[in-house]
Amino acid sequence: MNRALERQIYEAGRNLPAVTPKKGQTMKYALLVHQSQEYFDRRDNATSLAAGKAYGEALHAAGVLVGGAGLESPQAATTVSVRNGKRQVQDGPYAETKEFLAGIGIIDVSDLDAALEWAARHPAAAYASVEVRPLLGSHFVVGRTKPSS
């Protein structure tokens, strides 16, 4: 990407208005779980699976779960980029790092404090990090089926 295009994208993003829900409305947040390869290698144990299931059930029972899923190990990743009009495919994760994206959840809550509270309750928060990030606008619709062709 050339510098002029990078700058244009940066400026466009910078000038977006802050997303603040109106009184009585909720806001969607992504819960992004980052963990080390060590935890990827042992996350299929019964205790971890039960804790994840209980957390998902609690989100669902509270009516805040929009969706989410755990991700396979970074070694199962394929990274795609387009440079000079040509698709480039790389096996493995995007970058060498100590922690990888392990799972995502989308929740719909009243405010950031509520999202942080749910992130702190995530079972992975005890040994990994859970990043909380507001969704940017409504660029996609959640929970709708594909239109028939």
The span from the CA of 27 to the CA of 15, in Å, is 20
138 pLDDT above the threshold of 90? no
Domains assigned to the chain: 30-134 (3.30.70.1060)
pTM: 0.72
Q: Which pLDDT band, with edges at 50, 70 and 90, does 15 fall under? A: very low
Mean pLDDT across 111-133: 95
9 compared with 86, residue with greater pLDDT: 86
Q: Which pLDDT band, with edges at 50, 70 and 90, does 149 fall under? A: low
- 25 Cβ contact partners less than 8 Å away, ≥ 6 residues apart: none
73 compared with 33, residue with greater pLDDT: 33
Quote the distance between the C-alpha of residue 28 and its chain's center: 11
